[in-house]
Amino acid sequence: MRPPCRKFESLRSRREFLLRSGGGLGALALGQLLAADAAATGGPMATRAPHHPARAKSVIFLFMEGGPSHLDLFDPKPELDRLSGQPMPESFGRPITAMGTAGNTLMGSRREWKRHGQSGLWVSDWYPRVAGFADDLCVLRSCRADGLNHVGSVSQMCTGDILAGRPAIGSWALYGLGAANQDLPAFVVLTDAAEVYGGPKNWSSGFLPGVCQGTQFRNDGTPIFHLGPPSTTGARQQRGELDYLAKLNAEHAAARTDDDGLSARLESYELAWRMQTAAPEAVDLSGETPATRRLYGMDDDTTRKFGTNCLLARRLVERGVRFVQCFSGSGSGWDAHEDLEGNHSLRCRETDVPIAGLLADLKSRGLLDETLVVWGGEFGRTPFNEKGKGRDHNPWGFTMWMAGGGSRPGTVVGSTDPIGLRAVEDPIHVHDLHATILHLMGLDHVRLTYRHNGRDERPTINDGEVVTKALA
C-alpha cells in the first residue's frame, strides 16, 4: 500500500490545527497559514513563476469605451480625404454594419496631422500631449474583432469572446501569476462614468476560481464597494467573526480535502480583512504633490475624473497590482454616431492630459519599463458617415497602441486599406492582442490552461499568436 501523499498530509495537519485552535487565531497567523495552503495547493493567490522571463510586471489597460475613431487619431488616410463626400468604391466591398450605413458617402477627417518624435509617428491634433510620447508608442494599426455591437465587442476585448461568461484577460493574468501583493486585489477595475457595457461580466473570473475576478474601485469614498464593516462592528468583533468562520470552514473541510472552493472562500474573507487597511492607503491621494496632481489634470474639471483614475492606476501597479483596467467614457462615451467632432473633442480633452501624465510619471519613476500600458476601445469607426456627421462601428480594422513593458517603442505595426475600413497588413485579432499582453507578462497563452467541463480552456480559446513585431 502506498504511503499517504505528503501534500494532503500537510493539508490535513493545517486544517486540524485550525480546527483545534478554534476562534483564537490572529489575523497574521491565519494569513500565513492561508498563504502556505495556497502555495501547497497551487491556489490562485499564491505568487507563481512565469513561463518565461517577464518584461511587464503589471498592465494598465486604458479602455476607451464606445469605439474611438482611428481615422481621426492615429491612422491618417489621404485617399479617404480625397474621396470624401463620394460613395464608397465597390472595390472595397460593402460590410454589414451595426446601423446599416455602408451605403452612405465617405467622410474624410477634419483633423490636422503631424509627425512626432524621431520615429515620425503620425498623431492628430486631438491628442497633442500623447503625441509628445510618440517615441514610446507601439501603434497597432491593423486590429480587428468579431462583434458589431458594444456589449459583445466590449466583452470580447475584455474576455476574448463576444458572449459573456469567459474569464477576463486580467483574471487569466492573476490565475497564471498569482498575486504580488497579498493585501490588495491583483486585478482592479476603475470606471469614470456610467456602467460599462455588459457590467461586471467584463471583469468576471468566468470558470476560473472566484478570487481571480476583478475588483471595482471607486475614486472617492470607500475604494471598494461594501468593504467597510458596519459602524457598530469593531475590529475585535470582526476578527472574532472571521476566526469563528475559519473554524467552521475547517470542520467542514476536514472530510472534504479535494474541495478547493472552501480555501478560496476563506482566502477571500481574509483578503477583505487585510484590504480594509491597505486599500484606503493605496487610494489616498492626499500625499501626492500639487505638481503630480497637475500632471494628471486633476486641477481641471474636464480631466479630473480620468486623471484621478490614471494616478490611482500608477499607485496600484507601484504596490504590485498585476492588472488595472481604466475605462474612459463608460457607457457609450466614445460612440460618435451623430457628432464625431463634438464627441471626440470632449473625450480627447478628458483623456489626453491624464494619459500623457501617466506615461511621464511612469517614466520618471522607472516604472514604464516594467509596466505595459495599452490604449484602445472595443472597435474603431467607419470611413463612411452616419447621419452626416458621425461614424458607425468598425471591427474590421482599427488602431490600438502599447507603451512600455517590453513593447517596441516608436513603431507602427500593420495597416488598414486606403480608406481605413479593413486591416490588410499584419492583421491583429483580439486573441493576438491578448496573447501578446500575456507574453509580455511572462505567460504562454497556449500553456496557460484551466480544465473546465472536460476541456483544457486557454485565454485565446482556439487561436491567437503573439505579435512579434510589437516586441522590443
Q: Tell me, what's the pLDDT at 226?
A: 63
Residue 188 has pLDDT above 90, yes or no: yes
Among the listed residues 267, 264, 268, 262, the one whose alpha carbon sits nearest the alpha carbon of residue 249: 262
Q: Given a cut of 80, is residue 448 above it in pLDDT?
A: yes
Question: For the whole model, what pTM was predicted?
Answer: 0.86
Provide the percentage of residues in the chain whose pLDDT is more than 90: 73
Whether pLDDT at 29 is above 50:
no
Non-local CB neighbours of 444 within 8 Å, separated by 6+ positions: 51, 52, 438
Identity of the highest mean pLDDT range in 214-218, 230-234, 239-243, 358-362: 358-362
Q: How confident is the model at residue 33 (pLDDT cuts 50, 70, 90)?
A: very low
Buried b (16+ CB within 10 A) or exposed e, 258-296: eebeebbbbbbebbbbbbbebbeebbebeeeeeebbebb
332 or 205: whose pLDDT is higher?
205
| In contact, 402 and 372? CB cutoff 8 Å | yes
Q: What is the mean pLDDT of residues 69-89?
A: 98
Q: Structural domain boundaries of the chain?
A: 1-41+236-282, 50-223+283-470
The residues that bridge with 393 in the sheet, in sequence order, are: 381
Instruction: Cell numbers for 176, please give them.
Output: 497564471
Task: Report the chain's C-alpha Rg in angstroms.
Answer: 24
Tell me the CATH number of domain 50-223+283-470, given options 3.40.720.10, 3.40.50.300, 1.10.10.10, 3.30.470.20: 3.40.720.10
**Do 383 and 89 contact (CB within 8 A), yes or no?**
no
Question: Does the structure show a pLDDT above 60 at 128?
Answer: yes
Task: State the chain's mean pLDDT as an integer.
Answer: 87
Residue 400, pLDDT above cutoff 60: yes
Q: How confident is the model at residue 337 (pLDDT cuts 50, 70, 90)?
A: very high
Please enumerate in sequence order all residues whose Cβ is within 8 A of that of 4, keeping only pairs 6 or more positions apart, or say none.
none
Mean pLDDT calculated for residue range 213-227: 74
- The three cell numbers of residue 209 are 476560481
pLDDT-wise least confident of 27-41, 139-153, 414-428, 450-464: 27-41
**Grid cell in block for residue 429:** 485579432
Which grid cell sits at 211? 478570487
Q: Is the pLDDT of residue 387 over 70?
A: yes
Determine the Cα–Cα distance for residues 44 and 416; give it in Å rounded to an integer. Answer: 40
What 3 state SS string does the chain have? CCCCCHHHHHHHHHHHHHHHHHHHCCHHHHHHHHHHHHHHHCCCCCCCCCCCCCCCCEEEEEEECCCCCHHHCCCCCHHHHHHCCCECCHHHCCCCCCCCCCCCEECCCCCCEEEECCCCEEEECCCHHHHCCHHHEEEEEEEECCCCCHHHHHHHHHHCCCCECECCHHHHHHHHHCCCCCCCCCEEEECCCCCCCCHHHHHCCCCCCHHHCCEEECCCCCCECCCCCCCCCCHHHHHHHHHHHHHHHHHHHCCCCCCHHHHHHHHHHHHHHHHHHHHHHHCCHHHCCHHHHHHCCCCCCCCHHHHHHHHHHHHHHHCCCCEEEEEECCCCCCCCCCCHHHHHHHHHHHHHHHHHHHHHHHHHCCCHHHEEEEEECCCEEEEEEECCCEEEEECCCEEEEEECCCECCCEEECEECCCCCCEEECCEEHHHHHHHHHHHCCCCCCCCCEEECCEEECCCCCCCCCCHHHEC
Q: How confident is the model at residue 193 (pLDDT cuts 50, 70, 90)?
A: confident
Instruction: Identify the weakest region by mean pLDDT among 183-187, 281-285, 295-299.
Output: 281-285
Q: What is the pLDDT of residue 282?
A: 86
| 95-104 residue pLDDT tens | 999 999 999 9
117: left (phi over 0), alpha (psi -120 to 50) or beta: left
Query: CA torsion, points 318, 369, 365, 358, in degrees to nearest 10?
Result: -80
Q: How far apart are CA 51 and CA 25, in angstroms?
A: 36
Nearest to 240 by CA among 20, 23, 28, 15: 23
pLDDT band at 20 (very low <50, low <70, confident <90, very high): very low
Residue 151 has pLDDT above 90, yes or no: yes
Residue 139 C-beta-side C-alpha neighbours within 13 Å: 24
